Every structure is written in C-alpha cells, then in structure tokens.
Amino acid sequence: MSQKVEIFDTTLRDGCQAEEVAFSVADKLEIARRLDAIGVDYIEGGWPNETNPRDTEFFQEAQKRLQLKHAKLTAFGSTRRANVTPEEDSNLRCLLEAETPTVAIFGKAWDLHVTDVIRCSLADNVAMIEDSVHYVRSAGREIIFDAEHFFDGFAADAEYAIECLRAAERGGAECIVLCDTNGGSMPSRIRSGIEAARAAVGVPLGIHVHNDSGMAIANTIIAVEMGIGHVQGTINGYGERCGNANLCSVIPNLELKLGAKCLPDGKLQELRELSLYVAAQALVPHDHRQPYVGASAFAHKGGMHIDAVMKIPQSFEHVEPEVVGNERRVLLSDQAGGAAILHKLQHLRPDLHKGDPVVGEMLLSAKRLENEGYQFEAAEGSFELLAKRVLGTHREMFDLHGFRVTVEAREDGQTRAEATVRLSVDGDEVHTAAMGTGPVNALDKALRKALEQFYPQLKEVALTSFKVWALGDSLGTAAKVRVLIHSSDGETEWGTVGAHTDIIAATWQALVESIEYKLLQDDNGE
C-alpha cells in the first residue's frame, strides 16, 4: 500500500475530554507547535463558543502567535440549532470568528439522538446538516463533516444514516468522517458501514472511532485498508471515557505495517518524544506498556529472550525500536543471565565479551543484591553505579559522613521533619540542615543544600516519584523495605533503589545514588 493518509489530530479537543486531562491555553499552543513539527495534517484546536472561553482564547492567541508550517488549524462545533437559520446561530458564528482555514462540524446520524436527545424531526436534522455545511463552505472555509454516531445509526436505520451523509455532501462537505462515537462497534459493523457510505456519496471519507470496546486502533486500520484516507485520533489515545484511537499506535501501524504515508520523511522517529511531551503537559503518567512508544515496548526480561534478541533482534521485536524514537531495554531480574548483563555492561565497556570474568562477577553481584531486596528493573541508575564499581571505573563525587532525621508531632496534628547531613567534597566538609514536609523531603533538601555549592547543576534535578514496598509481609513492621526513586533533570529520567529494614536508611540509599548518578553522567559528558 502506498496510500497517503491524512492525520487529523484532535488531542486538543477530544483529548481534553479525558478524565484528569486539562490543558491551559499556553499548553495547547505549544502542543500545536509540536504536532505541526511532526507533520500531522490537521490540528483540531477546540470548540470555540460563548460558553467555552478557554478554547475561544486559544484561537485568538493562535491567530497572533501560531505560525504553522504544515498543519491546518481546525475549529470544531455543531450544526445549527433547530428553528434557527445559520446566520442567526451563535455556534456557527463563533466557528467563523475563529478564522481557521478548516472547520469541522458534527451532526447527528443516529435517529435515536435526533428524536430523543436534540428532539427535532428527522427531516429537520437533515436540513440542519445541509445548510450548516453550506453556510461554512460559502464563507470560504474547508469543511469537514463528522457524522456523529454513524455506525450505531447505520445499525438502527441504515437509510436515515446514509441520508445524513448525502445532506453533508449536498451542502459541500469536502470530507465526511464516519464516527463510532460510542466506541462499541465491531470490525464487521465498521466494514459494512464504510461499504454503504462509499456507495452512497462521492466525497472522500474519514474515520473517527472511540475505544470503549478496545477496538479503536483495529477499526481505524480496517478503515484504511478499505481505502479511507483521513484518520482522526489523539496522542496517547486520550479522550472521553476509554479514549480515542491512539495515533501513537495508528501511525506506526499504518507506516510500518501497511506502507501508508502519514508523516513527512524522518518524522516517525520523533513519535515517542511527542508522546512523552503530551503526557507531561497533561500531567498524566506516561503508559510504559503503550505499544511502540512505551518504555516497556522493547523491554526484555527473560534470560532466553534476551539471549535471542541480542543475536537476532527480530526474534522478539516486531520492528526496530529506533524507527519510532524508542530503544531496546534489557531488564535485570532473577531471570536474567549473562546476555542481559553483557548488554548492559557494553554501554560502559564496548569491548567486553560474554566470557570475560567481569560479566560473571557482575551477574553474581546483581543477583546477590536482588536476593537482599534490591530490584534493578526500574532502577537502571543504581545498576550503572554498581557496574562502574565492578568495572573499577567508579569515581566518588562526595564522601558521606552521616545523617540524622527527626520528626516532631505538633498539637494541631501536623508534623514537621528536620534532617541534618554531614559530607565532604575534595576534603571540604559541610554540615547542613533542612526542614521538610516529611523525612524524605527533609533529607532530599539537606543533601542538595550540602552539594549545590559544589555542583550547581543539581538545582535542575527534581524527584518525580517515590515508591515503597514491604518485603516479607509476615514480619510486619520489622520487614525489610525497598524504596524506588525516579528523578529527572528536565531532559532525562533515571531510577535508583535502596533496601533496608529501616525505611529511612533505604530512602537515603536511593537518594544518594540518584544524586551520584546525575553527577557522574555530567562528569562523563553524557
């Protein structure tokens, strides 16, 4: 297949309807720039109307500040209301005032919604579709019509659903998008609906599906296989209820599996970076199990799997990780063998081979520590520090002499923690103290306070997650605990781990290694 597929991104509109997802106007402007840079064809910026000031402001700011080089900014809204002319309809007025080159309007294609939701006659709904589309087209805008609930409408009353498409075509729609708005359609319904629509209208068709039955990606792919050349979806699949078709899976599936052209040359490898950026702006944890762009998409844990993928990558990888901007990860666990250790060590010593004694030494060290409660799967920072110690390339960036933490309970029920830290850097001893909301926060502040005068780059580092596991539940409060910390300097993220019967001591280990890893990376120019 050498088909060109238009990518219509609705992250800034439909994606914002997802639970816990909200973008400011500034967020939306920057995400739009990123979407344009990767090469999507349309960016649906929102629904500008009198009750949605944020989206109205976005389009006003976009007119002044956005200079898109590839994508067409699109305003979204509904057909006119019943018993109102297009010229009198405030919704259509707001769409035109957004001054976008493209306008997407939706209309009902399911008789249930017409008679029981918006409560007008079937004939009136058809007229609303036709004259709304005609009004926007007459204003000189490219017009895309979203046939809302088309597939459910087609199953309920096929003749009426098709008549709604014909009305949009008569009005001048340049693309008619078939929507599975409830996300419950199976592939067979998608196929039959597309076949009937294609026989009824002559304008290009698009597809817009939701994921309520877990079929959004599959139904989108099926639509393209049937010749549809306009695909709507969102980054990371954000959207109402269970979300929309995930463009981070749809695009690579189309390009790598079907040979379709979705993005400009060289842009597919930026997909993971875009996925991570949008998740960060949404303040939603990135799904590490997401296909193609997730951190676990090319992560290998079993010893035999690791050995095979090191010899022949396609034995356990369906595509090369680099084509979507991802990378292969080898996870360290009690299932890991020499191949996993060797792969990790070769990042530090490319000349190492499997028979080198240091590989066996490292394997024994890692498994001994895991037996003591450490786990390196999500703590690759700690693993690299261990590897450097075994290889003899580790350099101490500071010397620790001790720490103390006290927690005071107040009469008002609040607590206050204070930490003191003693350390030295190149013989210069420092003794600092810091207050925090809890012992972890206090320790983190005190350690940074002591080191930032020597290493100012630590001001860039932030703790992004803190997790604790009890190991050996039968021991109760005497059980050993594992603490996993993730840190970021704004560009990269790393994990470190500590294990101890004392939760504060385990936390201290993870905190110290987090700082140490950052300093050693900078020292090595990495």
The per-residue pLDDT for 310 is 72
Q: Decide if pLDDT at 44 tops 80.
A: yes
- CA-CA distance, 429 to 417, in Å (whole number)? 23
Confidence of residue 523 (pLDDT cuts 50, 70, 90): confident
337-359 residue pLDDT tens:
566 677 667 777 777 777 778 87
Q: Decide if pLDDT at 289 tops 60.
A: yes
The per-residue pLDDT for 489 is 85
Euclidean distance between the first and final Cα of the chain, in Å?
Answer: 41
Section 454-467 average pLDDT: 89
Q: Which of 167-171, 325-329, 425-429 has the lowest mean pLDDT?
A: 325-329
The per-residue pLDDT for 17 is 94
The per-residue pLDDT for 379 is 80
Q: Decide if pLDDT at 200 tops 60.
A: yes
The per-residue pLDDT for 7 is 98
More confident: 462 or 355: 462
- Encoded amino acid at 319, one letter: V
Residue pair 220/245 in contact by the 8 Å Cβ criterion: yes
Section 58-80 average pLDDT: 96
Section 10-14 average pLDDT: 98
Domain 74-261, CATH homologous superfamily name and number:
Aldolase class I (3.20.20.70)
Secondary-structure class of domain 399-523 per CATH? alpha beta
Instruction: Output the pTM of the full model.
Output: 0.74
The per-residue pLDDT for 473 is 54
Domain with CATH 3.20.20.70 in the chain: 74-261
Domain with CATH 3.30.160.270 in the chain: 399-523
371-405 residue pLDDT tens:
788 877 678 888 889 888 888 888 889 999 999 99
If one counts every other C-beta atom within 10 angstroms of the C-beta of residue 423, the result is 21
Grouping H, G, I as helix, E, B as strand and the rest as coil, residue 506 is helix
Beta bridge partners of 499: 482
Confidence of residue 506 (pLDDT cuts 50, 70, 90): very high
Q: Is 178 left (phi over 0), alpha (psi -120 to 50) or beta?
A: beta
Strand 428-436's sheet: what is its strand order?
399-409, 415-425, 428-436
Tokens read off for 208: 């817009």
- The per-residue pLDDT of the chain, averaged, comes to 91
Percentage of the chain exceeding pLDDT 70: 94
Confidence of residue 256 (pLDDT cuts 50, 70, 90): very high
